[in-house]
Amino acid sequence: MENRLFDTTVQKLKYEVIKELIIAYDKGLDNGIFHDIPIKIMPGPHASLRCCVYKERAILQERLKLAMGGDKDNPNVVEVIDIACDECPVDGIFVTPACRGCISHRCIEACPKNAISIEDKHAVVDKSKCIECGKCTQACPYNAMILQKRPCVLSCKANAIKVNADKKAVIDVNKCVGCGACVYQCPFGAISDKSYILDALDIIKNSENNTKYKVYAIIAPAIVAQFNYARIEQVITGMHKLGFNQVVETALGADLTLNEEADEIKEKGTLTTSCCPSFVKYVQINFPDLFKYVSHTPSPMVMAGKLIKAMDPTAKVIFVGPCTSKKFEYKQDTAKDYIDCVISFEELQAFFDARGVDVSTLPDTYLDNASYYGRIFARSGGITEGVKALAAERGFEARPIAMSGLDECRKQLTLLKVRKSPYNFFEGMACDGGCVNGALCLHHGPKSLTDVNKYGEMAKEKTVDNSVKLYKMAVGEKDED
């Protein structure tokens, strides 16, 4: 394993760029960074990843633009880096040895671009003409032609990625749900998320050491499966060193979301969750008839922000998570008053390293705000478990299903649409396995699930009751008891 921190070199490159950007920010940003940072990361003279070092640097410049917020005119949180996509090595239509050299040549007839010819009796595809439409694969009676899809297209369960005439990946913003699957899956790192790290740095800097206002980080519960080289308590100490006045568990917001959703399902009868913004967008685009079932309860991120701002009205709240879609959620009307910025775990790691904070050497700072149920929101099935428990307590019927990944969501929502679903509560998460496998996690894997469960069990609060009481007190609602 070459990379201690990441699954892939692509993640590491993105991290390097953000780390260098933060170092440059601390020295005072100027336009020279577009020249200096790529050279620092790819000093040359020989290329290590692409055809030449100049191309590597040109791509790094594009990564730097994304690290600085990306194209302001493009509302999407993920963008294609055209010049990085150019070299996508997948062949598209591939003629296998199953080609019998027949004489009917249905493949040629089917091809709309005249890209197929016969050489030595066998089909040959002219890659410069082929548009990978796949018509020949259907036409061949021997199934001898196969269409190898690009990893980005395969990864996109929202069917939002197309390949254009120049063979570059293009994201359809009207279909994209911002889940970030393509960001993690593209082997060339040609699709990447925008970073708002500069906004986060400004928020921290302008607080003047938390004297003008206090900066709160709310961390997603998936964090326990991250930073495996240190204890979570050390990570919290490290975050204080970066200038966060307080670090609070977003899972505390999850307790509040769960509490409200339990009441909502009791009232409405059928409900889907709303905590995953990519899932919500997926329903909106693909199942508009079912959108009425999507919970109106704010997401855990928003609830945590609301709670903090009720307790400290001048607070600035930065969400730290595994997720690309939180990067668009926080700009929506439902969230913008409560959340000031969103950064990822990858960006947090870059932040630590840019400031020379080695969290593994630091003492512990406690982290315990949320209940067991709030903490297990990080994995698929967590909300379902919580709803079941509250249903038993509050006397209503919950028949929940945990839908893990958009394929599973599509299946279950289709059944709901045709009124064939046995369920009345639908937990929807765009990422397979839930947030713990989010696109911007440092690493992914089965161990993450165990980490989340263990962390859940360690919570002092075993039910959501105290979190709910705290919220009511903060917003000035009276307790019922």
Partner 1 sequence: MILSVCVGSSCHLKGSYDVIETFKRLIAERGLADKIELRACFCLNRCSDGVAVKADGNYILGVNGANAEQKFDDEILPLLG
Contact 443, 5 (CB under 8 A): yes
In the complex, the smallest distance separating the C-beta of residue 302 from partner 1, rounded to whole angstroms, is: 17
Which of 9, 334, 365, 421 touches partner 1 (CB under 8 A)? 365
In the complex, the smallest distance separating the C-beta of residue 248 from partner 1, rounded to whole angstroms, is: 6
Which of 52, 366, 392, 397 touches partner 1 (CB under 8 A)? 366
What lies within 8 Å, CB to CB, of 162 at 6+ separation is: 153, 169, 170, 172
Which of 367, 403, 409, 441 touches partner 1 (CB under 8 A)? 367
**Candidate segments 9-17, 136-144, 367-375, 392-400, binder of partner 1 by CB under 8 A:** 367-375
Which of 108, 133, 139, 311 touches partner 1 (CB under 8 A)? 311
In the complex, the smallest distance separating the C-beta of residue 234 from partner 1, rounded to whole angstroms, is: 14
Sole residue written with tokens 């509040």: 256
393 residue type, one letter = E
Backbone angles phi, psi at 150, to 5 degrees: -70, 150
Total number of residues binding partner 1 (CB under 8 A)?
20
For 175, counting Cβ atoms within 10 Å of its Cβ (0-12 exposed, 13-18 middle, 19+ buried), the class is middle
Each residue 431-470 as x (binds partner 1 by CB under 8 A) or -, in order, gives: -----------------------------x-----x--xx
Window 315-344: residues binding partner 1 (CB under 8 A): none
Which of 368, 399, 410, 453 touches partner 1 (CB under 8 A)? 368
In the complex, the smallest distance separating the C-beta of residue 256 from partner 1, rounded to whole angstroms, is: 14
**Candidate segments 75-83, 94-102, 345-353, 364-372, binder of partner 1 by CB under 8 A:** 364-372
Which of 216, 282, 287, 319 touches partner 1 (CB under 8 A)? 216
In the complex, the smallest distance separating the C-beta of residue 322 from partner 1, rounded to whole angstroms, is: 21
Window 237-256: residues binding partner 1 (CB under 8 A): 245-246, 248
Strands 161-163 and 169-171, bridge-based pairing: antiparallel
In the complex, the smallest distance separating the C-beta of residue 461 from partner 1, rounded to whole angstroms, is: 8
* Dist CA 175 CA 181 (whole Å): 14
Each residue 151-190 as x (binds partner 1 by CB under 8 A) or -, in order, gives: ----------------------------------------
Each residue 94-123 as x (binds partner 1 by CB under 8 A) or -, in order, gives: ------------------------------
Contact positions vs partner 1 (CB under 8 A): 216, 236, 245-246, 248, 308, 311-312, 365-369, 460, 466, 469-470, 473-474, 479
